[in-house]
Amino acid sequence: MTHQSAGTRPGPASTRAARLRPVSAGIVSALVGFTSSFVVVLSGLAGVGADPDQAASGLLAASVTMGLGSIVLAWRTRMPVTVAWSTPGAALLASTGTVPGGWPAAVGAFLVTGALIVLTGLLPWLGALITRIPTSVAQAMLAGVLLQLCLGPVTGLAENPVAVAPVVLVWLLALRWLPRWAAPLAFLTAAVVIAVHVIRSGVVVDAAALLPRVELTTPTFTLGGLVGIALPLYLVTMASQNVPGVAVMKGLGYQVPWRSSMLVTGAGTLLGAPAGGHAINLAAISAALAAGPEAGPDRSRRWLASLSAGVVLVGLGIASAAFGTLVLLAPVGVVAAVAGLALLGTLASSLKAALDEPADVVPAAVTFVTAASGIAVAGVSAAFWALLAGLAVRAVLRLRSSGAPAH
């Protein structure tokens, strides 16, 4: 009779730990995704005219709809499909400014964005059209949009070094040893800085301001909102979130159902828009946390990671008013620094992708500087003009090269 050694069979504790890995991975995914970019979302909503209550409502709407979207897709597909808000889209809003019609026009633009995402799921040619936008031009537009926000840590250090320096230092140290947690730890440090500031200044926080609230806005539909917000927001969301999100999942061995994903995220965007939610989409970077090896060796159970992430995101959304209040109490420069640090990695990857194709370096540069200029012509944001400028320069240069005589 042979005896199996104790080290060859996992015990109950290790088996339980393995079974809980998808749940813990989902919790980590939700916490990292939310804390690393919710400041960007609040900044974006404020940038297009939302007051603090409306911005907090928008944060709640985006959090809850992306949580519900994750739950629905994970449950229906039995795959670790995770939904996130459009962080690049929020950065775009922050750089856009208020369009004619103000906040109601922005809400109308959010509704149009949701409708376009739904149409992308229903009309295959629309999705194919999006993929035909050159990566260099799309990424250069995103990099130009992000540039102004990524200056936040630099300007913050100049304006208020005492408050901003600890945030930057913690971010830098975490980037070296805990890169996944760099942005969340920067936010946690900012929260401590804000708490010290509140105690020293003697500000009294109204308990009612911490309660979740939904501020519904009657939308208006304007040309400025359509061209200045809806179209750029849709393009940025598709090109920098949905398309890469599918690619990330494919690299991990999962074939994301495109139609279902677009219908769910588009419907979620439509549902959240009246409350101020700007857009939700497939997760890209954070998708790997729920679908990768961190979610356990059993691939058939990794969908539980997305399910648990969705539950946590709904809970975080309910606490959105408290996060919004925290931001309002922050000393000068701190919020901008946290937002900039959260986006630096995205800026770096966007610049790399924009300049990766040697033949498109000049069109990418034109796109980048146009988007970074922040100009608004006829009420239309710089992002739209940047895309047009980059595509026009690219077309002219390609025409010249294709028509050049052979030597």
Dump pLDDT digits (tens) for 120-158: 999 989 888 888 889 899 999 999 999 989 999 999 999
So what's the pLDDT on residue 403? 53
CB 241 within 8 A of CB 78: no
So what's the pLDDT on residue 368? 96
Long-range contacts of the stretch 249-255 (C-beta < 8 A, 24+): 249/79, 249/81, 249/282, 249/287, 249/291, 252/287, 252/288, 252/291, 252/292, 253/299, 254/79, 254/80, 254/81, 254/291
Residue 10 CB neighbour total at 10 angstroms? 11
Domain boundaries, the chain: 21-401
Q: Is the pLDDT of residue 14 over 70?
A: no
Residue 16: band (very low, low, confident or very high) from pLDDT cuts 50, 70, 90: low
Tokens of 226: 């359509």
Residue 149 CB neighbour total at 10 angstroms? 27
Can you say whether the dihedral through the CA atoms of 324, 326, 328, 334 is positive or negative?
Answer: negative
C-alpha distances in Å from residue 305, one per residue of 81, 184, 254, 263: 9, 19, 14, 21
Tell me which of 20 and 257 has the higher pLDDT. Answer: 257
pLDDT per residue as tens digits for the range 210-241: 888 899 999 999 988 999 899 999 999 998 89
CB 25 within 8 A of CB 278: no
Residue 1: band (very low, low, confident or very high) from pLDDT cuts 50, 70, 90: very low
Cα 226 from Cα 298, distance rounded (Å): 45
| Mean pLDDT (whole number) for 281-302 | 85
Tokens of 251: 């690299």
From 276, 300, 196, 285, select the one nearest 244 (Cα to Cα). 285
So what's the pLDDT on residue 295? 84
Q: Which span out of 24-33, 59-68, 313-322, 336-345 was modeled with the highest average pLDDT?
A: 59-68
pTM of the model: 0.89
Which are the contacts of 19, defined by CB distance < 8 A and separation ≥ 6?
296, 301
